[in-house]
Amino acid sequence: MDKTNLQECEIIQDLLPLYYDDVCTPASKTLVQRHLENCETCRKLYEELKDQSVDQIIEKESRDVLKRHAKKERNAAWKAGLIISTLLVIPILITFFVSLASGTGLGVFAVVAASMLLTAALTAVPLMAKQQKLTKSILVGIFALLLIIFFVDRMNGSGSFLFLAIPTVFGLSIPLFPFVIRGLALPPVLSDKKALLTMVWDTAWLFLTIYIVCSRSGDVEGLQSGTVISVIMMTGVWLIFLTARYLPANRWIKGGIILIITGIWTAFSTDVYTLIVEHKRQLTILAADFTDWSSAAHINANTYLLILAVGILLGIALIAVGMTRHKKIE
């Protein structure tokens, strides 16, 4: 293609959007039509233009710009994470050589290395991870924390790793496990049961914590009492969770049932504990006397009875509202 034809193609290509929108002058329109009859390159461009609207072209260009910007940001973050990781290696190396030179063993080195890994979980990992940044940061952080506990326990020779690690995992799981499991890719059969898995996980670690703490101290009575209290407590929690998550009813009915469960559970949980552990039959609410708020027994009974009554009455009211709304929808 000579220079003259190239210049003509450039002019025609500038006119193509106007020609496509039918807003160019009649002379320009005739010029474009004649050129398209003889120029295959410009004709292909015009066909592509017809296949894409202006909005689609702008949207595609916008996506490309955003992708390039995101890639640039990821590269900058990765480099920053690499720099931080390199800096964190320095104290590890220093501690390693000092430990070797002093002949005191590698215990301090191991603790420092694990501590730097914990620091990296909070700084370098979020910068360098491409996906699931929060999940990876949490997992690496908990792993590093357990390493610190393990190495410190080995240095002290106390054999308390499980006694310290299990309650630590349980305490961290309550606020953090929902974020971790949300970022995990689970099999299809489990992908829609993440809330249920969270409940199972936290319940298991609760009982494991009670067992390890009481076993460590040899407190058999504490183990029995703690287990019973946890069973009673988690029974209420599980009933509320299953109602809210899986009961096939509208939110009004669910809310009403949850209020009734809460009222009954609060009013009678102490009595159930007393029956199982102390083998005493009692109903605390029978001691209710709203004219007497001076003794602990009457305060507890009055409070439990109020919670029970309010929970049942409000629950019934919400269930009635829910059933009425359900009938209207049908």
Residue 142 covered by a domain: no
Query: How big is the chain, counted in residues?
Result: 330
Residue 161 covered by a domain: no
- Cα separation, 184 vs 167, in Å, equals 23
Mean pLDDT, to the nearest integer, of 191-214?
93
Mean pLDDT, to the nearest integer, of 39-65?
71
User: Taking the chain, what is the end-to-end CA distance rounded to the nearest angstrom?
Assistant: 73
Residue 280 covered by a domain: yes
Look over the chain and give the mean of its residue pLDDT values, rounded to a whole number.
88
pLDDT for residue 38? 86
Closest among 301, 279, 278 to 288, alpha carbons compared: 301
- Per-residue pLDDT reduced to its tens digit, 152-177: 999 888 889 999 999 999 999 999 99
Residue 306 covered by a domain: yes
Q: Is 241 exposed, middle or buried (0-12, 13-18, 19+ CB in 10 A)?
A: middle
Residue 170 covered by a domain: no
Mean pLDDT, to the nearest integer, of 36-42?
87
The encoded tokens of residue 236 equal 């209420």
- Per-residue pLDDT reduced to its tens digit, 314-329: 999 999 999 988 777 7
Residue 32 covered by a domain: yes
- Confidence band, pLDDT 50/70/90 cuts, at residue 3: low
Q: pLDDT: is 127 or 13 the higher one?
A: 127
- Per-residue pLDDT reduced to its tens digit, 41-53: 888 888 877 766 5
pLDDT for residue 274? 92
- Confidence band, pLDDT 50/70/90 cuts, at residue 217: confident
Domain of 265, in residue numbers:
220-330
Residue 289 covered by a domain: yes
- Cα separation, 250 vs 240, in Å, equals 15
Compute the CA torsion angle 208, 211, 216, 220 (nearest 10 deg): 180
pLDDT for residue 330? 62
* Number of independent structural domains in the chain: 2
Q: Report whether 259 contacts 311 (CB < 8 A).
A: yes
pLDDT at residue 60 is higher than 70: no
- Given 51, 70, 86, which residue is the final one in a domain? 51
Share of the chain above pLDDT 90, in %: 57
